[in-house]
Amino acid sequence: MVASPPSHHATRRGPRGDSAAVKDSILDAARTVFSESGYQAATVKAIATRAGVDTKLVHYYYGTKAELFGVLAKEALQTIGLFEQLHAALGHKEKVGESYIRSALTAIESPETGTIFLGLLRSIGPHEESRRVFLDMLEKNMLTPLSAVQDAPLDFLRLNLVGTQLHGLIVSRYIIKFGPLATLSIDEVARLVGPTIDAYLTGDLNLPVEKEGQLLK
């Protein structure tokens, strides 16, 4: 008896064919699965099924679910172009916070750049692992460049404070859509929140020196 030829719809196993196309299909599938299911409920198997590949291929290219989410988080931050915009904001030495918030919100509210970022943010939910991965990307790609406003590196506490302010602002304005904050103009939000960012960056935290000395490496 002659064996039937393999189905063209069979699940792919191993790094065959156009690896770039396969990697892109996995990323596209991961965006969809994370968006629809949230980080905690999403599985590598579901992502592989959506992409039409074997789960081993997902691990081969991207590692664990957390590592794959990290790739998407970095991509989302790069998509909104905030790193490049920070260079312009940092030129305003007296109002770094206001310029920073204005640049961030403008990029996030752009239909061309903000959709992926907000979609990924919505998928995080209460899961600690996904928050840690996303905030790590936030710190490396958005917060660390702010250390340029000082001659010495900003300590980790100051970066934490800025990150908390920025994360809370984004979630309240775009995810929860909390009260008047969701309806204020970008300029109004930047004017109101900017001084707080400046205070975190360069203000007196009134803490013992040893607690302010945890320099970011």
Question: In this structure, are residues 30 and 23 in contact, taking their beta carbons and an 8 Å threshold?
Answer: no
19-63, CATH topology level: Arc Repressor Mutant, subunit A (1.10.10)
Domain layout of the chain by residue ranges = 19-63, 76-206
CATH number belonging to the domain at 76-206, selected among 3.40.1160.10, 1.10.357.10, 3.30.1010.10, 1.10.10.10? 1.10.357.10
pLDDT at 11: 45
pLDDT value at residue 49: 96
pLDDT band at 9 (very low <50, low <70, confident <90, very high): very low
Residue 178 has pLDDT above 80, yes or no: yes
Distant-in-sequence contacts of 200-209, Cβ < 8 A, 24+ apart: 200/97, 200/158, 200/161, 200/162, 200/165, 201/96, 201/97, 201/146, 201/149, 201/150, 201/154, 201/158, 201/162, 202/149, 202/150, 205/157, 205/158, 207/157
| Residue 62 CA, distance from chain mean position | 17
Per-chain mean pLDDT for the chain? 78
pLDDT digits (tens, 9 = 90+) for 128-149: 777 777 677 666 666 666 565 5
Phi/psi of residue 216, each to 5°? -70, 125
Torsion of CA 91, 97, 99, 105, to 10 degrees: 140
Residue 148 DSSP code: G
Tokens linked to 61: 């290219």
The 10 Å Cβ neighbour count of residue 133 is: 23
CA geometry: angle at 39 spanning 35 and 43, to 5°?
Answer: 95
CB 96 within 8 A of CB 149: yes
Instruction: Read off the pLDDT of residues 33-85 as tens digits, 9 standing for 90 and up.
Output: 998 888 888 999 999 999 999 999 999 999 999 899 888 888 887 777 666 66
User: Which tokens go with 116?
Assistant: 């992926």
- Determine the 3-state secondary structure of 63 from DSSP: coil
